[in-house]
Chains A and B, each alone.
Chain A
C-alpha cells in the first residue's frame, strides 16, 4: 500500500496542474509609452465614465489555458478608466467629472486563451465607447505574455492605445 502511494506521488503535481485553480482577477492600470500616442490639443478636458453596470463574475479563461479565471467587467472597465486617466494626464489632458465632453467606456468581454502553440497566453478585450452622441462603437485590444496576468494587464494597456488612436475619440478630446 505504502509503495503504491509513493509511486503515485510524482503524479500529484501533474494532477494539480491539470485541475488548475480558480481565480478572480482585476488587471492593473498600466500606462502605454507616451511616444506611441498622438498629441491632443492644449487645454483639452474630458470626463471618463464607467458605463459597464454588470458586476457579475464571468469566466474568461477558455479551454486549454490550464487555469480557471473569472472577471468582473465593471472592475475591468474601472482598470481601463484608471489607465486612460493616468495616460491622458501625462499627455496634458484634464480629466474631470464636470467636463461637458465625456467618454463612456464599457469593457463588454474578456477572453483568456492560449497562443503561440500553447507557449503563451493571449488576453483579448472587447469594449464600447460612447463619445456623448449616444452612438457607442465597439473596439478591441489584445496582448500576449507567458504569464496570464501580464497578458490581462497588457490588454488593458493596449485598450488605451486603441481608444486614443481612434479618430472619434480624438475628435471628442479636441471638442471645445
Chain B
C-alpha cells in the first residue's frame, strides 16, 4: 500500500513539474516572439497573450506601445486595453501620441482602446479630435468621451448636434445623454 502511495505521489509530482516546465517554455517562446523582428510573429504572439495572459509576457508587450512599427503598436494597444492591462503614465502617454497620428486608423484604434482604460486624465488629449475633419474620428471621440468624461464636457460636444453628418449628430446626442447622468 505504502509503495503504491509513494509511486502515486511521485507520478503526480512528475506530471506537475512537466506542466510547469511546459508553461515556462511556452512563456519563453511567447516572449521571444513578442521581441521578434517579424511583425507577423509579434502580432500572433499578442493574440496568444490575449488567449493565455502571462505577467512576464504582458510586461514585454507593454513596451510595444511605443514600438516604431505602426502595425505592431496598433495591435499592442488593442490587445492590452482589451485585457485591461495595468499601464503606467508613460504608456498611457504613448497611446495618447497615437491620437495625433497621420494615420486615421491608428487614432481610431487609440480612441477605442482608451474606452477600456479608466484614464480620465487623457480627456484633454481627446477633445481636440471633436474638431477633426474626419467624421469617423469625431464619432469615436464622442463615444470615448461618453465613457471617460463627465457633464463638464457637454458644452464641447453640443455644437456637434448641428454637424452636417447625421452619424456624428447621433453620437453627440448619445454622448450628451450619457454625460448628463455623471458629475
| Binding partners A and B | yes
Whether A124 touches B39, Cβ cut-off 8 Å, given contacts A138-B68, A140-B67, A142-B69, is: yes
> Chain B contacts of A133 at CB under 8 A?
none
Separation of A142 and B70 alpha carbons in the complex (Å): 7
With contacts A36-B102, A161-B102, A162-B102 taken as known, whether A142 is within 8 angstroms of B71 at the C-beta atoms is yes
| Nearest-neighbor residue (CB-CB) of B37 within chain A | A111
Q: Which of B17-46 contact A (CB under 8 A)?
A: 37-41
Closest to A162 in B: B102
Looking at the assembled complex, report how far the CB atom of A148 sits from the nearest CB atom of chain B, in whole angstroms.
Answer: 14
> Taking the complex as formed, is B105 at the interface, i.e. its CB lies under 8 A from any CB of chain A?
no
B101: CB under 8 A from chain A? yes
Identify which of A36, A114, A140, A167 contacts B70 (C-beta below 8 A): A140
Given A36-B102, A165-B101, A165-B102, also A139-B39 (CB < 8 A): no
Bound together, the chains give a CA A63 to CA B40 distance in angstroms of 10
Q: Which residue of B lies closest to A137 (CB)?
A: B68
Q: Which residues of the partner chain A approach B69 to less than 8 Å between Cβ atoms?
A: 111, 124, 126, 140, 142
Given contacts A122-B71, A162-B102, A165-B101, contact A142 B40 (CB under 8 A): no
- Check if B40 sits within 8 Å of A64, measured CB to CB: yes
In Å, the complex CA distance between A114 and B40 comes to 7
> Is B101's CB under 8 angstroms from A126's CB?
no
**Whole-angstrom distance from the CB of B64 to the nearest CB of chain A?**
12
Residues of B near A138 (CB, < 8 A) are 68
Contact of A113 among B38, B67, B102 (CB under 8 A): B38
Chain B, Cβ-Cβ closest to A167: B100
- Report which of A122, A127, A158 forms a contact with B39, defined as CB distance below 8 A: A122
Quick check: A140 and B102 within 8 Å, CB to CB?
no
